[in-house]
Structure 1
Amino acid sequence: MLKKFQDALDRRNETGILRTLKPQLSGIDFYSNDYLGLAKNKEFQLQLLSCVQENPALLSGSSGSRLISGNSRTVTDVEAFIAKEHQYPEALLFYSGYNANLALFSTLPDRHDTIIVDEQIHRSVHDACRMSHAKKVKFRHNDPEDLENILKKQTGTCYIAIESLYSMDGDLAPLQEIASLARKYNAALIVDEAHAFGVFGYGLIEKYQLQNDVFAAVVTYGKALGAHGAAILCNETIKSYLVNFASPFIYTTSAQDFLWLSIKTGYEFIKQRPELPEKLHQNIKIFKNQNIETPSSEISPIQAVIIPDNHQLKALQSALSAREFLTYAVYSPTVKAGTERLRICLHSFNTEKEITELAAIIKAFL
């Protein structure tokens, strides 16, 4: 029985793409999603510690799902706080962004509906579509014209799934154009703001004031907020429908209250420190001034350097590791063959010296 599994692992090992779990490394961080440095911020940590010292019960388990014994006053208060901050009627909290996407796309569309996804949408959406009875269609990445051609051919209800900032290429969705198409064809637009939240205020939906045009949004807290968990932003009907029919919500034990309170504390912390995203965007400009070609946005903290040669990519990452630069190399099949890349994440805490030294090593390999 195990042979087919071992054969698959052996094939990955032979091609050099076998994944293994490694301990956290010490070095200069250019690979984590900690864009604003909150996961390492001592002041933020002390605020969380103070919350626990005042109320140690925050660390206790919730004892059940939200529909049984796990629906504390803390989680409902935090949901109301999040909804108000984002100017949405309601928010529904989940343990992770993956679970939030599973809940949305496995529950809302039915067998008569179509889910139209950007071809680079997060894997969690693809997995959720497999749980749904709806038809799934892909449109070319960030191509509103291709999306409209697909919308024209549909007869039933359509859901459009995009990210506002894509995690592999580090490029921005044409959010306003896609929102306009959703209005034109009466489609439900769902936007994942995982990598935009905190980097661009509360995300690009808020930046462009598209709350009335975005049917539902997913905001995750394990990146710029330095915490964990996720919220679905939606209206009252959708929240009630998810509470009643979404298996990833119904059959999951609620997280401990410390998680929910850490999210609210994180919101308050970043509101009081506008210098963090300002420093991040200064660092992005410094990197872009190094004139390294990338498909990434000029204002994205994610910068992808395409190196379509596995051996060259491995050699580059080894050279960077030798200088204690922590980066992430992405090989196929995670990305298409020929688009392998070094994925660089910039942060508010990186220094100009670190960024210029990183760029110099990369340019030596290009």
Structure 2
Amino acid sequence: MRRILRRTERPRIRRRRHLQGRRDDGQANILLLFGMTIALLALTVLFVRVGFANDQRSQAQTAADAAALAAVSALKDSAADQLAGGSYPMPRYDEEIAESRAEDFARENGAVLTDIRASDNVMGRSGNIVRVEVRGALCQRELDPDNSRHWNDIVCEGEEDMSETSFGSASAIAIIELDAACGRDDDGLNCDGSPVGDSEEASDLFDVHLVDQEGQYRFDPNAVFGGGAIVDCANLGGLHPQMCAAHQALNDQFPGFYLSAGGYRDEADSDHGYGEAVDYMMAELGGTPTPAMDATAIQVIDWLIQNHQDLNVKGIIYNFHIWSPARDSVGPWESVKRYAGPRGSPTQDHVDHIHLSAGPPPFR
């Protein structure tokens, strides 16, 4: 007979016992700990790599600064020798010497020179501002955009051609400036009112330092300049015979009236490009003449105007003003000059020099 369960009774359910053995919790914790260790190790390596890259950049910048200053110092040595020898200094860029010095100083600071160029703010005539680029002798290329190198790959040494993503590249710009007012008097060349001593003393008159910007004009190695109390025609780049004759007459009449002289330049729209013009520097390039030098300039110009027919003078430009016999009347400079207008710099405006054109027309 079938038993009927009461409502208060419940059927007995046989419970299974848990299987005895290890649980998975501990193993998961070990794997998590191992993963975190690997991640921390990777981050540490990454930070080391980033720190190494920053060190490379800093080292490269130090090398670039040293290389730029060394390149400009090459101009300082020659300019000091000129000044001590009685010639007004023309710190003119010499690529071979400047590049050699820049390479040496870059190498001493753990870098390789990759580029060097010169400029100035005086129409490319001196190249007294030098810019260099260097890269570190050690580098990293793990961040190439095409993922061609693993992030932990460190290979690049010496002269190997590097990609644009190389670490350790830097540039620097340096300038040399004459930190004295120089002119000529009856006793010869003087600076700040005193005679110049030997090359070591003359060297102290120049300032070499880093700057943030290159010059306005790329250095023109074809520009011909001569220094000394008297500059011969042969040192001015093959002058036209009539220009050379006027130059010699000026030297005879006013010996040593200028600081230096500039002749031929490769300019098709100027008499300089035809050997029919000379610039007589009455101040340093880009500078302003002293009152005594300005007075001398006016005296020289008045004599040139008075003798323009004999000297085949085509035109004169000085201190924002111009004169030519074909257009203007003959007389003292102050009464016959006409305004030429500003061009942007003391050299372009002929503040620092007298421009004399002599030879066959036209006046260019």
Please tell me the TM-score bracket, short chain as reference.
under 0.3
Structure with more strand by fraction:
2
Give me the TM-score of the superposition, normalised by structure 2. Answer: 0.24
Greater RCO (CA < 8 Å, at least 6 residues apart): 1
Tell which structure's C-alpha radius of gyration is larger: 2
TM-score (norm 1): 0.23
Q: Which structure has more helix as a fraction of its residues?
A: 1
